[in-house]
Amino acid sequence: MTQDWTSFLTSQGFAADGSSSGSLVGELAAARDGTVLAPVADQGLIRATGVDAAEFLHNLMTNDIKGITTRNARFAGLCTAKGRLLALFLIWRDGDDFLLMLPRDILPAILKKLSMYVLRAKVKLSDATSEFALVGTTAVPPSVPRDLPRFGLEAISGGHVIRLDETRWLLALRPAQAAERWRELAAFAKPVALPVWNWLEIAAGQPRIVATTQEAFVPQMLNMELPAVAGVSFTKGCYPGQEIVARTQYLGKVKRRTFRARLGTAPAPGTHVFAPETGNQHCGAIVSVAPSPAGGYECLVCVQIGAREGGEVRIASLDGERLEFLSLPYVVKDDEPAAA
């Protein structure tokens, strides 16, 4: 974030990092019952520039990057050779360049990791976080078509709007125009702090990878091949870990899936969960967590399907707090192998 954008947020009653702005209980209720907008201050941006940028990213990501145009975005992951996720990105074009959005806590390490792959490719990677103010909203932004498809991208004055799903929109705004766009939205959407936006992400069943969950999951564990998440292509060709991901899809069984749950405390992402079916061996881990409008917290948790069906999944130990499972806005497939 730039100093001007940070100063604007503080003038609106936000903490400099967007983490608080007033009554969290009221803001969560507004997100559940109405329309809101929030500074997405925990996300950063990597810019990929150069004639080989599309090919370079396509060869590294789980999704089809060559298919990204100036009218759409895509969700994709970066895996290790063993198919374990190092990062998840929302990727779109900014002119001839690509922008990759990811959590700021892993951005420096991922930027360094991606740079190691450049070699002779004509591509330059840089931290573009300061070039944009990121804003999330559940209101349809002015002048944007209501029928814009999921992951559709629309150019607006000062930046871009991306439709994330049925209820969420992301605005990537040049700092000089960000305050004006914010005021336009605030006329009919309640400003809320970042934790509220993070709850909306959990309610949507959209996973993320942070420093404590790197290399913990293969894409299918986070439901990434399902159309509602749409983070994997099985026709795009090779990328690091592709063989493992494809084998899991066509030859194996997905034994762990990501579900939504409620709890009273807020465990850190990566905290293991346990169930009687697996004894003292953990059966999964917390993916993300945020305050809930119903009180307490909600989380996405990756857990063995059998343990989820048993209903006795607990945090940190067999004696830990029991998770109360909630519905997701999409159907999670069972553990049957996919048809080739």
Specify if 334 maps to a domain.
no
Choosing from 205, 229, 246, the residue where a domain stops is 205
Query: DSSP letters of 295-307?
Result: SSEEEEEEEEHHH
Same domain (yes/no): 164, 55: yes
pLDDT tens track for 18-44: 887 778 999 999 999 999 999 999 999
Same domain (yes/no): 215, 290: yes
Specify if 333 maps to a domain.
no
Same domain (yes/no): 181, 291: no
Same domain (yes/no): 201, 215: no
Residue 4 pLDDT > 90: no
Task: Check which CATH number belongs to the domain holding 40 and give it.
Answer: 3.30.1360.120
> What is the structure's pLDDT at 151?
97
Cβ pair 234, 242 in contact under 8 A: no
pLDDT tens track for 146-176: 899 999 999 998 899 999 999 999 999 999 9
Give me the phi and psi of 162, to 5 degrees please. Answer: -120, 130
Of 59-68, 105-114, 244-253, give the lowest mean pLDDT range: 244-253
The domain tally of the chain equals: 2
Give Cα 41 distance to the centre of its chain: 13
Cβ pair 209, 218 in contact under 8 A: no
Its domain, for residue 97, covers 1-205
Please tell me the pTM assigned to this model: 0.94
> What is the structure's pLDDT at 20?
79
Whose structure tokens read 């404590």? 212
Same domain (yes/no): 200, 242: no
Specify if 331 maps to a domain.
no
Specify if 335 maps to a domain.
no
